[in-house]
Amino acid sequence: MTTPGAGASGEDDLIARYFRPLATDPGAFGLIDDAALLNHTGDDLVVTTDAIVEGVHFLPDDPPDTVARKALRVNLSDLAAKGAVPAGFVLTLALREAKEQWLTPFARALGEDAAVFGCPVLGGDTVSTPGPLMISITAFGRVPPGKMVRRSGAKPGDRIAVTGTIGDAALGLRILKGQIEGLDTSSREFLIQRYRVPQPRNALAVAIREHASAAMDVSDGLAGDLAKLCTASGISASIDLMAVPHSEQARVLVTKGSSSIEAIVSGGDDYEVVCTIPENRWDSFLVAARQVNVQVTGIGKVETGAAAPRFLDAAGKSVTLKRLSYSHF
């Protein structure tokens, strides 16, 4: 981002008007420099980058405030899974036009989330595009040296836990697409909100760092993401499908036959954390999670071998999932 002044342009004005008020961190230099600064604190820096595209990750008529929150929170969710404490972010905003009625609520919500999650805007770039709106965010988190939680540390015997509830967001998207009808208004709103505004589990980051052997963000479907964690750790897993936590609203839809537990574990956009916890840390992990008010649920165990994770039904029978996760290509 660049500064307005003698050489002010439309882009500079846009930045000055909407984003400078958010750039309160000293490392952002009020967005009047070529770069931002993350100063040396003795910690390692965890870096994650995730973009959201109109029509792909959010819908053209999603409210601008929810688009802002989603853009930042999908990145915060990665930091949480790595056990990192947010340190700031930079964004690239590709816009067709600079519309005040869109930018004002977008910037306001971004600033609110930056404050709530302690993750200040440090800089960015605005570009014009004739195509769909796109927001690409790179977020930074701090961990003590060597303490980032990897995908690769799971060991046979570890318990597998997920945060929150799984499947709500994918159902919310189906509602917005008109594929699910007959729900009461409050259930509709709940599931749509779960799609539009993820609830990243940053409050749990320190507990994950202290207790988890491996962790990752669940964004493309629990089944597919867990398979990736297994591959990275060189292990397998068994999951009790009946134990996978889902909301009351999702349960109603499964009971009515509008969804299924298989669809729930392979839907995307959850932005929860799946992690593996050594048996002897399990109780302490539960206590730590309770202290920060984040729901965690044991859903299975890490097993030896390189086979794909098994998903077991109520009778303990392995269920074959047709689709593990969402893919862009």
Q: Which parts are annotated binding residues for Mg(2+)? A: 34, 48-50, 78, 125, 217, 220
* Residues placed in the known binding site for ATP: 124-125, 151, 219
Pick from 21, 59, 92, 319: which binds a copy of itself (CB under 8 A)?
92
Which residue numbers belong to the known binding site for substrate? 57, 269, 326
Judged by CB, which is closer to a copy of itself: 97, or 248?
Answer: 97
CA–CA separation, 323 and 329 (whole Å): 14
Record the tokens describing residue 31, joined without a space: 């967005």
Neighbour tally for 137: CB within 10 Å: 25
64 or 249, CB closer to a copy of itself? 64
CA–CA gap between residue 212 and residue 158 (Å, rounded): 9
Q: Which stretch binds a copy of itself (CB under 8 A): 8-16, 18-26, 183-191, 275-283?
A: 8-16
> CB of 65 within 8 A of CB of 108?
yes
Query: Of the candidates 52, 57, 54, 5, which has an alpha carbon nearest to the alpha carbon of residue 32?
Result: 5
Residue 43 · residue 148 · CB < 8 Å: no
**b/e code 95-131 from CB counts within 10 Å (16+ = b):** beebeeebbebbbbbbbebbeebebbbbbbebeeeee
Q: Which of residues 233-292 bind a copy of itself (CB under 8 A)?
A: none
Binding mask 197-226 toward a copy of itself (x if CB under 8 A, else -) reads: -------------------xx--xx-xxxx
Work out whether 227 is an interface residue with a copy of itself (CB under 8 A): yes
Binding residues: 34, 48-50, 57, 78, 124-125, 151, 217, 219-220, 269, 326
- For residue 54, give the DSSP letter: B
- When binding is defined by CB under 8 A, the residue of 64, 86, 164, 309 that contacts a copy of itself is 309
22, 90, 175, 192: which one binds a copy of itself (CB under 8 A): 90
The token pair that represents 286 in the structure block: 């539960």
What does each C-alpha distance from 230 to 119, 278, 300 come to in angstroms?
30, 15, 13
Number of amino acids touching a copy of itself (CB under 8 A)? 91
Backbone φ and ψ for 263, nearest 5 degrees, come out as: -65, -35
Which one of 18-26, 27-35, 157-165, 293-301 is the stretch in contact with a copy of itself (CB under 8 A)?
A: 27-35
Exactly one of 17, 21, 29, 156 binds a copy of itself (CB under 8 A); that residue is 29
CA distance 282 to 47: 28
Q: Applying CB under 8 A, does 312 fall inside the site for a copy of itself?
A: no
Give 121 or 175: the residue with its C-beta nearer to a copy of itself.
121
User: Which of positions 45-84 make contact with a copy of itself (CB under 8 A)?
Assistant: 45-53, 55-57, 78-79, 81-82, 84
Task: Give the total residue count for the chain.
Answer: 329
Least distance in angstroms from the C-beta of 130 to a copy of itself: 6
d(C-alpha 250, C-alpha 264), whole Å: 8
Does 319 help bind a copy of itself (rule: CB under 8 A)?
no
Site for a copy of itself (CB under 8 A): which residue of 5, 60, 178, 182? Answer: 5
**Residues 118-137 as x/- pattern, contact with a copy of itself by CB under 8 A:** ----xxxxxxxxxxx-x-x-
